[in-house]
Structure 1
Amino acid sequence: MQSANDLKQLLFNINHKSYPAYKSARGAYQFPNYILSIDHVQGDPFAAPSRVSIHVTGKTAAFPPSLYDTYEKRIALQDYLLRQFARAIAPYSFRAKGSGKSGLLGVSRCGQEILERTACVFNAANGSLVLNMEIGFPANGRTIAAQELIRILFDFLPGCVEKSLFYHSLNPKTCAAVAALSEDQQAIRQQLKEKHLTAFVADGAILPRETGVSDLPMKHAVPFSSPDTLRVTLDLPNHGPISGMGIPLGVTLIVGGGFHGKSTLLQALEMGVYNHIAGDGREYVITDASAVKLRSEDSRNISNVDISLFIHDLPGKSDTTAFSTADASGSTSQAANVIEGMESGTGLFLIDEDTSATNFMVRDELMQRVVADSEEPITPFISRVRDLYEKLEISSILVAGSSGSYFHVADTVIQMKEYIPHDITERAKAIAAEFPPFTASVRPFALPSFQRHPLPDKVLTGSDRTKVKVMGQESILVNKSLTDLRAVEQLTDSEQLSGLAALLLEAAERAMDGKKTLIQVVDLLEKEMDEKGLSTFLAPGRPGDLARPRRQEIFACLNRCRNLKFR
């Protein structure tokens, strides 16, 4: 390994040379308190920035093991250090001058959720850490400006590392609070199972977000307050007793007038599958980690999915036990989403009437009289929701603003009034008894087949030089294969899509042999992430920073990839 002085001398030697000479700087260099590794050098100052990693030994970082002795604490600590480093480098980005991206200092931008990321990896075995970042190597035109890079690497960066990645420079109480919150959030998840709950929303939580494009908490929002009949008190190891609304297993209906907070509550529950940072307002909004948000998804790709639980006797004699289409309707897409959610192992469905196919959710009495059941190929969700819970232990939380038919099948009814929930179960049931329940001839409940075997085509496997492009939180492009993920609403970070792209390639190249089922393929991917870490999926041609997606989103991605065929 070379020294920091060697790097400085090398940069002096290539100053004013053509930009490609920067590539000679690749390698690892020992600085006083860390190793700086120049992993990838950009081709020119206008290209994607160079990739640099900072390696700190456990002895130097000196974080107490109590801050990372569980998986949850370790991920929370990584997240905290990444945020601290991002704050430290922000004032220095573009302080070094030049053309193109010269002087850029960048690192993963974390949102309100705490995710496992490759941008900062903490080794629980020895307390060491690696932080990955981007630096725009400076140039004047396409001529190396080495003095500016020396400013970055020798003047700016050491102070940022010292300030944000060493325990002695950080506030010990804040570090302990990060670990404590993580431990408390995990305790709530455990108590959900023990108390037979699907979700918990703490009293005082702030659910509304600042704007439609900002995930920060809304100022002056109405704090959440549980109805007495649904209030539970949980005992947390650090926070102590905490009270809030416990949503029980079964079928829960959320109702209320427009703009009173129905969808806001559901959106908080959607994101409750992740832990949130302190100050977010949803730190103690915790949902069953396997929850799946269902919606209709016109035009999505479906391959060999058994949707016969909901769709049968289609015109043209289409086989709905192995249904395929490149252009799904609202009802067939939502039916497939339910079955694929079951395949992923979910224990909770989250549904908003506004984003659902009406004919998939319910048929009213007048429509049944006009169009006979024998002429309707759709068995609506209302006819299956009880069986999903009673036979498969899959609960449902539904937002309804216009259809009252679900009052008959709901176990719990919550009405939102000016962002405050009220338990109206008894009153709703009493009023519903005055109206006939939804009835229709329904086929017997039969568990769908999950013996689907994915096979990739040459678009995913036939290229020697794989190209990956991630378009925000909307889609991924692997070679020429576009996978649309806009309707997968629980994806919260573009780096999760980068992770999905890497997992898709890994599965196509190594796991999909035509013998393994989709479940077995995803099991293998998760096992590899658990045992080797997410960083094992980093490779040339793939995005540099990944965030770990949930099991449910891995299924969603593979199911939507048009260049995977299932048999």
Structure 2
Amino acid sequence: MQSSDQLKTLLRSVNRKSYPAYKSLRGAYQFDRYILSIDHVQGDPFAAPSHISVRLSHKDTGFPAEYYKDTLTRITLGDFLNRQFEHQVSRYTFRAKGSGKSGLISVSHCGQEVLARTACEITEKGIIARFFIGFPANGRTINATELEKILFDFLPVCVHKAFFYRNLDAAALRHAIFLAEDQAYIRRELKRRSLAAFVNDGAILPRESGISSRPMKDSVPFVSPDSLRISLDLPHKGTITGMGIPCGITLIVGGGYHGKSTLLNALELGVYNHISGDEREYVITDASALKLRSEDGRFIKDVDISLFINDLPNKKDTLCFSTEDASGSTSQAAGIVEGMEAGSKVFLLDEDTSATNFMVRDSFMQRVICREKEPITPFLERARELYEKAGISTILVAGSSGAFFHIADTVVQMDNYHPVDITAATRELCKEYPLSVVQPPAFRLPQSHRIMTWSRPAPSRHSRPGQPERLKTKVYGKDGFSLGKTDIDLRYIEQLTDSEQTAALALLLKYACEHLIDGKRTLPEIVTYLDSQLKKQGLSFFSEGSYISCGYALPRVQEIYSCFNRYRRP
């Protein structure tokens, strides 16, 4: 390791040279109570910015040990510090001048959810912050004087104000840690009390707009129905009340624009912890909950969809079903089976985004098209068995079909954003509108022994002898990415909340293709291995070389499965 004075000398030695001379700066340098590492230098001022990291010891930063005692507190502390660092950096970005990205200082932008990110990682030894800097140049001539400003004037101020306990709002940090521990307590209580989700009284569920996840001003606060209200004694906040959604089949109904989908959206994102001020901090859903919808044109590979689809006219095997272009009903059937494989214990569905013929067949249609001529067993006829035989609850937004009232354990009507428990009333009405009973085929849990495969690209003339071509990834925001020449479409994975999760999925799939897919391992075996390595090594598992980059956030196991299932392979 070199000293900061040596870095200053190096900067002055490369000043006004051609841009590639910046690469001589790579290495680690000791600054005042932190180590600055220049991990990767960009090729020119118009290329992606350089990768920088800062390492600090717990002894120097002075954070109480209980704030990084376990995975929960480390992720929370990392999120809090990253937000502080982003605030500081925003005051200095582009204050150093030059061509292209010269002077850029960029840090991961955090949304309302608290995610584990490579941008700020808390380890047993200390804190690692990762970010990007655009090394300044005039044209393609190095302007080291401006970079010296960034590294010696701007950055030390940002680091000391963002990462040293004595310089932070201690009360705000303590509140963030306590909030995370209260949220974890509620998740444990869900299991203990056989609840699928909890929505606290006073929560603000509507969002500011379709492109903003901040709470809408002057919204109607959530007030739970008396019959579903429970109390929770949290370790730090004390007693809170709210609506406990029991395990089983829950129906959310109501008129248009009364808040049905808003409630479901809050529940689907309740798998994550939220920051203070989001107003959904105590909206907590079973961590394995999976939002499902139909996806016309989806790729499906070797999925046992016989629970829902059987006896196809073309005699295609539904015990091991594959298609390049699934229909809405077939894609939704596959999504449910894949969710079961991923270990999800709560399914979230909205009629508006579901395939109608997959969800229900009314009595008139059953008379016109007899059972023997219909290969689809609708979700209506399987939801009860999914709960009683597989332990999987369903929370369904329904707006057009009354058939689901007959199988619902709980019915919540949203009336101008106010929830009303109408379970008893609908049970009485069901007696007046009996459902024609159709005996579905026998329930059998899907069997999966899917072997993961892929087509390894042929070596190019630039590859080393005996080595396959390295796969390249390109991320398209939150919506998907490409791996080699294949696009993976994740637009309908609605619980992906950050493009950095998509970037992480790209690296996980790339790693699986290069190291794990051998024609012998099953998909669950591969995902289980990746999940175990992420838990063991943390985000350092994403490292492809000698350093880890900023720009990755940890996805759930459910999203890893969803991504791998949408990878088009032979």
TM (normalized to structure 2)? 0.97
SS of residue in 1 equivalent to 2:121: strand
* Cα separation, 1, equivalents of 2:15 and 2:357: 68
Unpaired runs of 5+ in structure 2?
460-466
Which residue of 2 is the match for residue 226 of structure 1?
224
1:475 matched to 2:480? The reply is yes
Which residue of 2 is the match for residue 235 of structure 1?
233
Letter in 1 for 2:20: P
Shift of 1:371: 1.1
Which residue of 1 is the match for residue 289 of structure 2?
291
SS of residue in 2 equivalent to 1:28: strand
Aligned length: 562
From 199, 202, 205, the equivalent of 1:204 is 202
Shift of 1:365: 1.0
Equivalent residue runs for 1:232-311 within 5 Å: 232-311=230-309
Shift of 1:16: 0.9
* Cα separation, 2, equivalents of 1:85 and 1:276: 19
Which residue of 2 is the match for residue 561 of structure 1?
567
SS of residue in 2 equivalent to 1:51: strand
1:116 matched to 2:122? The reply is no
Equivalent residue runs for 1:111-190 within 5 Å: 111-123=111-123, 125-126=124-125, 128-190=126-188
Residues 471 and 460 of structure 1, relative CA distance in 2, 3 Å threshold: farther
SS of residue in 2 equivalent to 1:129: strand
From 408, 411, 418, the equivalent of 1:410 is 408
Which residue of 2 is the match for residue 519 of structure 1?
524
Q: Deviations over 1:373-413 (max 9, x none)?
A: 11111000000000000001100000001110000000000
1:551 matched to 2:552? The reply is no
Shift of 1:514: 2.6
* Cα separation, 1, equivalents of 2:539 and 2:22: 29
Residues 460 and 362 of structure 1, relative CA distance in 2, 3 Å threshold: farther
Shift of 1:316: 1.0
After TM superposition, the structure 1 stretch with the greater mean CA deviation from structure 2, 344-353 or 430-439, is 430-439
Q: Deviations over 1:241-271 (max 9, x none)?
A: 1100000000000000000000000000000
After TM superposition, the structure 1 stretch with the greater mean CA deviation from structure 2, 366-375 or 339-348, is 366-375
Which residue of 1 is the match for residue 462 of structure 2?
none
* Cα separation, 1, equivalents of 2:170 and 2:479: 39
* Cα separation, 2, equivalents of 1:400 and 1:243: 26
**Is the 2:118–2:549 contact (alpha carbons within 8 Å) kept by the matching residues of 1?**
no
SS of residue in 1 equivalent to 2:241: strand
Shift of 1:545: 2.1
Letter in 2 for 1:555: Y
From 356, 376, 379, the equivalent of 1:378 is 376
Which residue of 2 is the match for residue 352 of structure 1?
350
Unpaired runs of 5+ in structure 1?
none
Which residue of 2 is the match for residue 491 of structure 1?
496
* Cα separation, 2, equivalents of 1:543 and 1:151: 23
Residues 100 and 200 of structure 1, relative CA distance in 2, 3 Å threshold: same
Shift of 1:175: 1.4
**Is the 1:2–1:29 contact (alpha carbons within 8 Å) kept by the matching residues of 2?**
yes
Shift of 1:463: 4.7
After TM superposition, the structure 1 stretch with the greater mean CA deviation from structure 2, 532-541 or 337-346, is 532-541
SS of residue in 1 equivalent to 2:181: helix
Q: Deviations over 1:134-157 (max 9, x none)?
A: 000001111111111011001100
Letter in 2 for 1:117: R
Share of identical aligned residues, percent?
A: 58
* Cα separation, 2, equivalents of 1:463 and 1:415: 57
Shift of 1:538: 2.0
- Aligned-residue CA RMSD in angstroms? 1.4
Residues 305 and 374 of structure 1, relative CA distance in 2, 3 Å threshold: same
Letter in 1 for 2:481: I
Which residue of 1 is the match for residue 314 of structure 2?
316
Which residue of 1 is the match for residue 32 of structure 2?
32
Letter in 1 for 2:336: V
Shift of 1:522: 1.1
**Is the 1:502–1:542 contact (alpha carbons within 8 Å) kept by the matching residues of 2?**
no
Letter in 1 for 2:401: S
From 535, 539, 543, the equivalent of 1:538 is 543
Letter in 2 for 1:155: D
Which residue of 2 is the match for residue 456 of structure 1?
454
**Is the 1:454–1:517 contact (alpha carbons within 8 Å) kept by the matching residues of 2?**
yes
* Cα separation, 2, equivalents of 1:28 and 1:11: 14
**Is the 2:118–2:548 contact (alpha carbons within 8 Å) kept by the matching residues of 1?**
no
Which residue of 1 is the match for residue 507 of structure 2?
502
Residues 519 and 102 of structure 1, relative CA distance in 2, 3 Å threshold: same
SS of residue in 2 equivalent to 1:275: coil
**Is the 2:540–2:548 contact (alpha carbons within 8 Å) kept by the matching residues of 1?**
no
SS of residue in 2 equivalent to 1:92: coil
**Is the 2:85–2:158 contact (alpha carbons within 8 Å) kept by the matching residues of 1?**
yes
Shift of 1:453: 1.4
Shift of 1:542: 9.3
Which residue of 2 is the match for residue 94 of structure 1?
94
After TM superposition, the structure 1 stretch with the greater mean CA deviation from structure 2, 533-542 or 350-359, is 533-542
* Cα separation, 2, equivalents of 1:351 and 1:546: 28
After TM superposition, the structure 1 stretch with the greater mean CA deviation from structure 2, 532-541 or 502-511, is 532-541
Letter in 1 for 2:556: R
Shift of 1:456: 2.1
Q: Deviations over 1:164-215 (max 9, x none)?
A: 0011111221111111001000000000011110000000011100000101
SS of residue in 1 equivalent to 2:9: helix
Equivalent residue runs for 1:334-345 within 5 Å: 334-345=332-343
* Cα separation, 2, equivalents of 1:465 and 1:395: 42
* Cα separation, 2, equivalents of 1:72 and 1:543: 22
Equivalent residue runs for 1:67-78 within 5 Å: 67-78=67-78
Residues 503 and 339 of structure 1, relative CA distance in 2, 3 Å threshold: same
Which residue of 1 is the match for residue 66 of structure 2?
66
* Cα separation, 1, equivalents of 2:508 and 2:491: 18
* Cα separation, 2, equivalents of 1:349 and 1:156: 48
* Cα separation, 2, equivalents of 1:234 and 1:282: 16
**Is the 1:469–1:543 contact (alpha carbons within 8 Å) kept by the matching residues of 2?**
no
* Cα separation, 2, equivalents of 1:238 and 1:383: 44
* Cα separation, 2, equivalents of 1:465 and 1:98: 34
* Cα separation, 1, equivalents of 2:24 and 2:184: 47
Which residue of 1 is the match for residue 464 of structure 2?
none
SS of residue in 1 equivalent to 2:432: coil
**Is the 2:96–2:150 contact (alpha carbons within 8 Å) kept by the matching residues of 1?**
yes
Letter in 1 for 2:519: G
